[in-house]
Amino acid sequence: MTFKELDLLEPILNALNTQGYTNPTPIQEQAIPIVLQGKDIMGCAQTGTGKTAAFAIPILQRLQSTKNPEQKRVIRALIVTPTRELAIQIDESFKDYGQNLKLQSAVIFGGVNQTSQVNRLKAGVDILIATPGRLLDLVQQRHINLRNLEIFVLDEADRMLDMGFIHDVKKIIKLIPEKRQTLFFSATMPKEITSLANSILTNPSHVEVTPVSSTAETIQQEIYFVDTENKKDLLIEVLNINKVETALVFTRTKHGADKLVKILNRNQIKSEAIHGNKSQNARQNALKKFKEKSLQVLVATDIAARGIDIDQLEFVVNYDIPNIPETYVHRIGRTGRAGASGKAVSFCNTEERAYVKDIQKLIGLNIPVVSDHAFPATGKIAEKKVQQPRVKRVWQKSR
């Protein structure tokens, strides 16, 4: 199927063509026609499945095709998302897909001075992308009026729960019109999220792609057994041998991220870290440089990396193995997107071998072990200790 077969407006098709998009991903193919019909959606989809375009494209078309009842611009669509980085990226997507339309979008988030955001709102916007805290602040200050809202999107609902935003979300729902279209997306559906969805959706269509327990078949996964003190040298070797242009590297702690960046930069591998102790501007600048490929390595903690959406990322490194198996799936899911191939490598020390067992149990495959490297573990980390009984493995070799 092509985007043209989804009956999209010519200006939107031209914008998609400019971005190099011709074929929708599975969730876009399923969701776009439903949203265009004005129906509610309950979507189970991870970041990286093309979810943003699945709601942004039909929202733009619906707003363009229906007349604004007011004389001035009013907020007709609201997208609420848990992190600042994700909010910024969603706004960029609306601007990309709507570049040939006269609709205006704006993004608001906390952690920065509100003046420029308030000025942008005063100029008038059709589509607002917001994090929960700043949205409620500006509503309370009467800078935002939601009475003309037509479409409400709740994105990454399970992360809202993880980050303690569910009460704010419930407050927001009380502020918006009961008569509206609601699009609800979550990577997982724990009991509280299912309950929330049922309370705000009306006869929703269910859209589901790539369960959280699976990893994309296009991702080549590898594991290296290595002593903790040799991880830094192994990382440098792996980056050089694979001739990696850009890599997203995950560490467990903020201190570990900063320490690793210093080591990489000393070895002429241009790197920066993003984590909770970095200012919002520093994080945005690092992400921008990484996307532009003026940074070779972006070192991130899991919280800071939430919502990071980088097109054509080919290399992810688990410098520290996560102790929550689902985190592994989210981490490596940032590569191998939309059918592209990618590679995810993990460094495992003695203490982390139990985490690997849990990960392999969740994803239902044995991660191939690379034993031929310069820094093999000297501890008793036997391959058979972490491997589950043999199961069928499907993965694609990296380019």
pLDDT in tens, 38-54: 999 999 876 667 789 99
Q: Enter the tokens of residue 79.
A: 């997208």
Q: Which residue has the higher pLDDT, 240 or 213?
A: 240
pLDDT grade, residue 275 (50/70/90)? confident
Minimum mean pLDDT range among 13-22, 127-136, 171-180, 359-368: 13-22
The Cβ-side half-sphere exposure at 331, using a 13 Å CA radius, reads 32
In which band, very low, low, confident or very high, does the pLDDT at 307 lie, cut at 50, 70 and 90? low
- Between 394 and 15, the more confident residue is 15
| Predicted structure pTM score | 0.63
- Whether residue 326 has pLDDT greater than 80: no
Cα–Cα dist 336/311, whole Å = 10
For 364-394, write each residue's pLDDT tens digit. 889 999 998 999 998 654 444 444 433 333 3
Q: Which residues contact 280 (CB under 8 A, 6 or more apart)?
A: 84, 109, 111, 112
State the DSSP H helix or E strand holding residue 397, giving kind and residue range, or none if neither. Answer: none
For the chain, the domains span: 3-208, 219-386
- Is the pLDDT at 397 greater than 80? The verdict is no
- 219-386: CATH topology is Rossmann fold (3.40.50)
**Mean pLDDT within 94-105:** 94
Q: Tell me the mean pLDDT in the region 5-16.
A: 94
- CA atoms of 2 and 399, how far apart (whole Å): 26
pLDDT of residue 349: 93
pLDDT for residue 282 = 86
Instruction: Please give the mean pLDDT across all residues of the chain.
Output: 87
Res. 395: pLDDT tops 60: no
Tell me the mean pLDDT in the region 323-331: 80
CA dist., res. 84 & res. 129, Å (int): 10
Q: Where are the beta strands (DSSP E) in the chain?
A: 41-44, 77-80, 105-108, 127-130, 151-154, 181-186, 205-208, 219-225, 247-250, 271-274, 297-300, 315-318, 342-348
What's residue 25's pLDDT?
83
Q: Across the beta sheet with 181-186, what order do the strands follow?
A: 105-108, 127-130, 77-80, 151-154, 181-186, 41-44, 205-208
Q: Does position 249 have pLDDT exceeding 90, yes or no? A: yes
What per-residue confidence (pLDDT) applies to 389?
37
pLDDT in the model for residue 169: 95
Q: What is the CATH number of domain 3-208?
A: 3.40.50.300
Share of the chain above pLDDT 90, in %: 58
Residue 238 token pair: 């792996």
Please count the residues of the chain.
399
Average pLDDT score over residue span 114-138: 96
Query: Do 3-208 and 219-386 come out as alike in CATH topology?
Result: yes
pLDDT of residue 383: 44
Partnered with residue 47 across adjacent β-strands are: none
Q: In the prediction, which pLDDT does 339 show?
A: 60
Across 97-106, 150-159, 302-311, least confident range: 302-311
Task: Give the closest residue to 139 by CA, choosing from 153, 151, 128.
Answer: 128
- Per-residue pLDDT at 72: 86
| Across 124-146, average pLDDT | 96
The pLDDT score that the predictor gives to residue 309 is: 65
